[in-house]
Amino acid sequence: MNCKQVRKLFGAYWDDEVTQAEREWLEAHFASCAACRTAYEDLGRTLELVGSLPRIDVAADFAERVVARARRATAEPDRLVGGAPRWIPITAAAALVAVIGATVIQWVGPNMVPTRPGTTLTTPSIAQPTLVTSVTKDGHSPDASAAARQIASGMTQIPDSLFDHDEDIEFILDPVTLKKGRALTVVRAPQEPPRAQQAVITF
Candidates 19, 24, 27, 45: give the one binding another protein (CB under 8 A): 45
CA distance 56 to 96: 52
State CA 156 to chain mean position distance. Answer: 56
Candidates 55, 82, 84, 156: give the one binding another protein (CB under 8 A): 55
Asked whether position 73 contacts another protein by CB under 8 A, the answer is yes
Asked whether position 74 contacts another protein by CB under 8 A, the answer is yes
| Nearest approach, Cβ of residue 61 and another protein (Å) | 11
Candidates 31, 56, 84, 144: give the one binding another protein (CB under 8 A): 56
Candidates 1, 35, 66, 93: give the one binding another protein (CB under 8 A): 66
Candidates 3, 19, 35, 46: give the one binding another protein (CB under 8 A): 46
Asked whether position 35 contacts another protein by CB under 8 A, the answer is no
For residue 130, the number of C-alpha atoms closer than 13 Å in the C-beta half-sphere is 11
- Report DSSP letters for 48-92, one per residue: HHHHTSPPPP--TTHHHHHHHHHHHHHHSPPSSSS-S-THHHHHH
Strand order of the β-sheet with 120-121 is 120-121, 182-187, 176-179
Asked whether position 59 contacts another protein by CB under 8 A, the answer is yes
Q: CA dist 66 to 76, 78, 105, Å?
A: 15, 16, 58
Task: Report the interface residues with another protein, using CB under 8 A.
Answer: 10-12, 42-43, 45-47, 49-56, 58-59, 62-67, 69-71, 73-74, 78, 80-81
